[in-house]
Structure 1
Amino acid sequence: MNGRTAIIPLSLAALALAGVLAFRPASQPSVAQAVGPELAVYNQGVALVKETRTLPLKAGAQSVVIKDVAAQIDPSSVQIRSLTDPSGLSVIEQNFEYDLVGAERLLSKYVDQPIQVVTKDGSKYAGTLLSSAGDITLRDEKGQIVVVSGAEVRDFSFPKLPEGLITRPSLVWLVQAAKDGSQDVELTYLTGGLSWAANYVLLLAKDGKSVDLDGWVTL
Structure 2
Amino acid sequence: MAFSRHCEELQATRQSRAARYALDCFATLAMTMILLFPALAAAQSVVTSDGPDAVEVSIYRDNSRGDYGKLNLKYLQGFALISETRRVTLPAGAATIRFEGVASGIDPASALVTGIGVEEKNQDARLLTQRGLLDHFTGQRVTLRRTDPATGETSEESATIRSGSDRLIVQTVAGFEAVACTGLNQTLVFDRAPEELSAKPTLSVNIGNQPGGEYTLTLTYLAQNFDWQANYVAEFNEDASAIDLLGWMTMASGDATSFIDANTNAIAGTVFRDQNYANTVFAEGRAPVRYQCWPAGTTGAFQGYRYQQRTYALRYRGGAVSPPPPPPPPPAPMAMEMAAADSVMVTAQRRAEQEDLGDLKLYRIPFPTTVAANSQKQVAFLRKQAVPGEIVYMLEIFPRYSGGGLDRIFRMQNKREEGLGEPMPSGQFAFFQQALGLRQLVGEDGMSDKAVGEEIELALGGADNVTHEIETSPKTGKNWQAQTLTIRNANAEPVTIEAEFQNETDFTYRKFKRRTFERDGKTVWRTTVPANDEVELRYRVYGPDDG
Q: What TM-score do you get using the length of structure 1 for normalisation?
A: 0.57
Paired residue type of 1:94: K
Q: Percent identity?
A: 29
In the other structure, the counterpart of 2:54 is 36
> Hey, what's the Cα distance between the residues in 2 that align with 1:190 and 1:95?
15
Contact 1:35 1:53 in 2 (8 A): yes
Higher relative contact order (CA 8 A, sep 6+): 1
Report how far residue 213 of structure 1 moved.
3.8
Contact kept? 1:90, 1:177, Cα under 8 Å: no
1:62 aligns to 2:95 (yes or no):
yes
1:172 and 1:116 map into 2 onto residues whose CA distance is 32
- Paired position in structure 2 for 1:81: 114
Conserved? CA contact 1:61–1:175, under 8 Å? yes
- The answer (yes or no) to whether the contact 1:48–1:188 under 8 Å persists in 2 is yes
CA deviation map 1:106-149 (0-9, x unaligned): 448xxxxxx9766899787xxxxxxx996xxxxxxxxxxxxxxx
Distance 1:26 1:181, change over 3 A: closer
Indicate whether 1:94 and 2:121 are aligned: yes
Q: Aligned partners of 2:189, 2:60: CA distance in 1, in Å?
A: 44
SS in 2 for 1:165: coil
Residue 151 of structure 1 aligns to which amino acid in structure 2? Q
Which residue pairs with 2:216 in the alignment?
184
More strand by share: 1
Return 5+ residue gaps in structure 1 as ranges.
1-24, 83-88, 109-114, 125-131, 135-149
Distance 2:142 2:231 in 1: 54
Q: Residue 212 of structure 1: CA displacement?
A: 5.0
* Alpha carbons of structure 1 residues 155 and 208: separation in structure 2 relative to 1, 3 Å: closer
Distance 2:44 2:94 in 1: 11
Q: Secondary structure at the match of 1:34?
A: coil
Compare the two structures and name the one with the higher helix fraction: 2
Corresponding residue number in structure 1 for 2:81: 48
1:101-140 equivalence runs, <5 A: 101-102=129-130, 103-107=133-137
Asked whether the 8 Å contact 2:48–2:100 carries over to 1, the reply is no
Q: Rate the CA distance shift 1:52–1:133 in 2: closer, same or farther, 3 A.
A: same
Give the Å deviation of 1:37. 1.8
Letter in 2 for 1:188: T
- 1:5-33 deviation per Cα after TM superposition (whole angstroms, max 9, x unaligned): xxxxxxxxxxxxxxxxxxxx564542254
Distance 1:186 1:69 in 2: 12
Structure with max Cα Rg: 2
SS of structure 1 residue aligned to 2:94: strand
AA at the equivalent of 1:176: G
CA distance in 2, matches of 1:166, 1:193: 20
1:63–1:73 distance in 2 versus 1, CA, 3 Å: same
Q: Does 1:214 align with 2:234?
A: no
Out of 151, 166, 190, the residue aligned to residue 171 of structure 2 is 151
SS at match of 1:193: strand
Residues 191, 54 of structure 1: alpha-carbon distance in 2 compared, 3 angstrom cutoff:
same
After superposing the two structures, state which structure 1 stretch, 27-36 or 65-74, moved more.
Answer: 27-36
Which residue does the alignment assign to 1:129? none
* Distance in structure 2 (CA, Å) of the matches to 1:191 and 1:157: 31
Contact 1:30–1:57 (CA under 8 A) maintained in structure 2 = no
Instruction: From the superposition, tell whether residues 116 and 197 of structure 1 become closer, same or farther in structure 2 (CA, over 3 Å).
Output: closer
Between the aligned partners of 2:228 and 2:47, the Cα distance in structure 1 is 36
SS in 1 for 2:171: helix
Change (3 A) 1:116 1:48: closer
Instruction: Determine helix, strand or coil for the equivalent of 2:109.
Output: helix
Task: Name the CA shift for 1:187/1:123 in 2 (closer, same or farther; >3 Å).
Answer: closer
Residues 105 and 28 from structure 1, CA distance in 2 versus in 1: closer, same or farther, beyond 3 angstroms? farther
**1:199: which partner in 2?**
231
Query: Which whole-Å deviations, capped at 9, do the CAs of 1:130-172 have from their partners, x for residues lacking one?
Result: xx996xxxxxxxxxxxxxxx622896653x4333321221101
Which amino acid in 1 is paired with 2:224?
A: G
Question: Structure 1 residues 155, 37: closer, same or farther in 2, change over 3 A?
Answer: closer
CA contact (8 A) 1:80 1:187 kept: yes
CA contact (8 A) 2:94 2:208 kept: yes
Aligned pairs, number: 163
Note if contact 2:94-2:206 (Cα within 8 Å) is conserved in structure 1. yes
